[in-house]
Structure 1
């Protein structure tokens, strides 16, 4: 997936020096000449004083203070991460002394973001999801940062597939990637060991097909008592995970008609087959956690990290969740691809962008980009950027978080080499525990999220998941037909509004 594009970062330093020289007059033997000379000297001094005063007035004024609200600040429970960011703030006091950085942890949510924007309380910089930028751009809720990226020399360094997600139809850019991800399957190796599902070298015997997923989950449940698999069915994350399962059964859930309209396809035979499989995990295999309708993105990691479940659909950018946040030893986490289904093997590609308040000034945007550079998250190999990467890796290692490669968000070979060196120097896990995942997600099996009101589609699918998990006699076909109709109406309404 890597495309090499070399972009040199140019720095322009302008210096202006104003040098003034003074000439002294000559003396006279006559009193009159001396008086005239004195008067001339006085006049010259006054003239020079006035000129000097004018020069002082014309000197550039001190830069205006800039206030940046960091909606990317770590949550209160992550003390080590907060300490790392406090170090970044200290660095910025030297790098950009005119800027003040105010912590403001913010977790993006579709139902709270626009009211926050309308009230003028949006942080200068915040994180979102890759499903959101086009909607936020169309709503004029975020800032166009094209000129600022151009000024930093970052404009052409972004992975083209990511840049497209963050751009409008005219090519203006509204965000930069924090990181990318591809969904895979996280494994609690302790439970695999307890169930006897490891090879002679201790590596987990992970499932390669959907049928093997069900069988492996059942073996773990029978031998350990823990859930074999975490299924989410509380909120939109349930539909998000299900969409990837459905792809592996051959489904396409939304059809782009090419004219700005979309057709719902939630009731295709392949999508129905995928939902029947999910239903069987509950009623035929009995391998799920006690109540999937109470499982969301965060609780899924809790179940995995605390040993209450053995497998969970997740991505490489969240390896801190089962480990640092929920206590799983760093050497007891492994990852593999989402198992292949009748329709093939696919992994949902997405990620987290940094985006900027529509009310942010160019000075605030530049100051925020400087902060991101110091974090080591931009396409920079400056001394500060490398120090930020090292601090991040050191923090992960100390906190028991796997130090593993991130998805290539930037394409400059210099940044790719720098990131590889960080992994080489700070890696703290057996790479074979993650190799099956990276092998799969570097292939042609990556798919971006479905088009057309994606979050609404996830919501409709979650309603079906809740029904099939709580009702053994639920009619999957009828439920998917209803979801399809509901989703199509939302698509049609959105098209009419445009």
Structure 2
């Protein structure tokens, strides 16, 4: 799940319609669209268009659109800003109102593929030669059991530990170069968080316990304590392990963060993906579990200077286990999209620099994105590769070097340890979002009731999730 993918979503949709935000009045847009259709143009409903509040991003997309008009005059681009939501997407897709291209989370493709809600783009990607350029791990997430492909990646991420450098400085937890002394273990994190709380008054850690993002973060903590939360039995069935000794130990650690160390924000049950960045960016919390693809949230969105944000690796558990949950954001396509519409969408991605194609146009797209980051105070840093062809990797690094606006030492620890072999781990199999939901229920009890029985809560969560898994097989 990108998390970015786990926001409290502001989409309000009827069963058969959805609201798309773009430029100009709806009447003007409808008129322009009808004119384009009469002229025989392919209409590209661009669900990845930024929301109106992201002014600079919209300006960038307007430039991409101009380039698209110049290079593909037979295509009409219809801005159709859309935020994926699990509770409304099915009705959106079945009613025929899904935009041609949209973003989702890497927890979703297999579910959407099995439900027949997205387009098979295998042949189109083969014609373009893109499949061999895609990271094998990403390709597997976007493919069915027969090897058919249903999307392309926007980006990949791995969870790490974002830190507010100002609070680490105030607490005396930086080295002689001003780089935070990132906690190496979860035990160290608790102790460092206590030091920060005592010396600055700010929360040492922002823990999420409002929605599924709480369970999402907790699963990464549990892995470091040696837990496996769900097993794919290989026969269409799954087994839940939410009540394992290791998983319970991880939840008891969370209990201690609240009741032994008292280092969390005032009300974790009010904290979601977005508020966590707000707490970090405004200096209300010193640490937050987050990914490299979300550095704009504490900086651009919440005002933290670029040189006051740093990232370390996820701390190790009691036995040295150190994993980072990896995922990302894929682009997927409406099940009703034509070959022409899908090709138009891929052409647009190429212009944005979000494809494996390296040419002057795609490099300009990457440069525009990097320049936009610099002007908005967003760190320009490395990414985890989705496209692995060497010319793409080299071109991306060249742009990063050209627009670099932060000391790489603020992120070196994160990339070195997180990228080490065996440290990346994909989300658990089964119905992952339902698992997160059950874990969040436990988190809410743990951080609000000092007399709770963690073991019993995890046992109940395990029973509830197993029922969900059993229904999957049926």
TM-score of the aligned structures, taking structure 1 as reference length: 0.86
- SS of corresponding position for 2:285: coil
Q: Aligned-residue CA RMSD in angstroms?
A: 1.0
Aligned with residue 246 of structure 1, among 222, 226, 238: 222
Report Cα offsets for 1:278-335 as digits up to 9, x if no partner: 0111111111111110111011001101111110000001000000111000110000
Match of 2:55 in 1: 79
**Residues 203-352 of structure 1 correspond to what in structure 2 (within 5 A)?**
203-343=179-319, 344-352=321-329
Match of 2:427 in 1: 449
Q: Shift of the alpha carbon at 1:240? A: 0.3
Contact 2:442 / 2:458 at 8 angstroms: preserved in 1? yes
Query: How far, CA to CA, are the matches of 1:372 and 1:233 in structure 2?
Result: 35
Report Cα offsets for 1:406-440 as digits up to 9, x if no partner: 11101100000101101111111100000010011
Contact 2:133 / 2:387 at 8 angstroms: preserved in 1? yes
Matched, 1:389 2:366: yes
- SS of corresponding position for 2:397: helix
- SS of corresponding position for 2:362: helix
Contact 2:277 / 2:298 at 8 angstroms: preserved in 1? yes
Aligned with residue 152 of structure 1, among 107, 118, 128: 128
Match of 2:417 in 1: 440
- SS of corresponding position for 1:207: coil
Query: How far, CA to CA, are the matches of 1:273 and 1:155 in structure 2?
Result: 42
Query: How far, CA to CA, are the matches of 1:201 and 1:270 in structure 2?
Result: 37
Match of 2:104 in 1: 128
Q: Shift of the alpha carbon at 1:63? A: 8.1
Aligned with residue 457 of structure 2, among 479, 490, 494: 479
Matched, 1:200 2:176: yes
- SS of corresponding position for 1:200: coil
- SS of corresponding position for 2:256: helix
Residues 111 and 339 (structure 1), Cα distance of their counterparts in 2 relative to 1, 3 Å cut: same
Contact 2:48 / 2:81 at 8 angstroms: preserved in 1? yes
Query: How far, CA to CA, are the matches of 1:147 and 1:96 in structure 2?
Result: 21
Matched, 1:407 2:384: yes
Query: How far, CA to CA, are the matches of 1:427 and 1:221 in structure 2?
Result: 33
Q: Shift of the alpha carbon at 1:75? A: 2.2
- SS of corresponding position for 1:208: coil
Report Cα offsets for 1:7-48 as digits up to 9, x if no partner: xxxxxxxxxxxxxxxxxxxxxxxxxxxxxxxxxxxxxxxxxx
Aligned with residue 440 of structure 2, among 438, 462, 484: 462
Query: How far, CA to CA, are the matches of 1:171 and 1:86 in structure 2?
Result: 36
Residues 476 and 318 (structure 1), Cα distance of their counterparts in 2 relative to 1, 3 Å cut: same
| Structure 1, unpaired ranges of 5+ | 1-61
More off after superposition, 129-138 vs 94-103: 94-103
Match of 1:430 in 2: 407
Report Cα offsets for 1:188-226 as digits up to 9, x if no partner: 001111111111111111111000100111111111111
- SS of corresponding position for 1:239: helix
Report Cα offsets for 1:110-167 as digits up to 9, x if no partner: 1111111122211111111111100000000000111211222212110011001101
**Residues 347-358 of structure 1 correspond to what in structure 2 (within 5 A)?**
347-358=324-335
Contact 2:158 / 2:326 at 8 angstroms: preserved in 1? yes
Query: How far, CA to CA, are the matches of 1:210 and 1:75 in structure 2?
Result: 37
Residues 430 and 300 (structure 1), Cα distance of their counterparts in 2 relative to 1, 3 Å cut: same
**Residues 9-158 of structure 1 correspond to what in structure 2 (within 5 A)?**
64-158=40-134
Runs of 4+ aligned structure 1 residues displaced above 2 Å come to none
Contact 2:295 / 2:378 at 8 angstroms: preserved in 1? yes
Contact 2:237 / 2:472 at 8 angstroms: preserved in 1? no
Matched, 1:490 2:468: yes
Q: Shift of the alpha carbon at 1:276? A: 0.3
Residues 369 and 167 (structure 1), Cα distance of their counterparts in 2 relative to 1, 3 Å cut: same
- SS of corresponding position for 2:316: coil
More off after superposition, 247-256 vs 117-126: 117-126
Q: Larger radius of gyration, structure 1 or 2?
A: 1
Report Cα offsets for 1:59-79 as digits up to 9, x if no partner: xxx983111111111222211
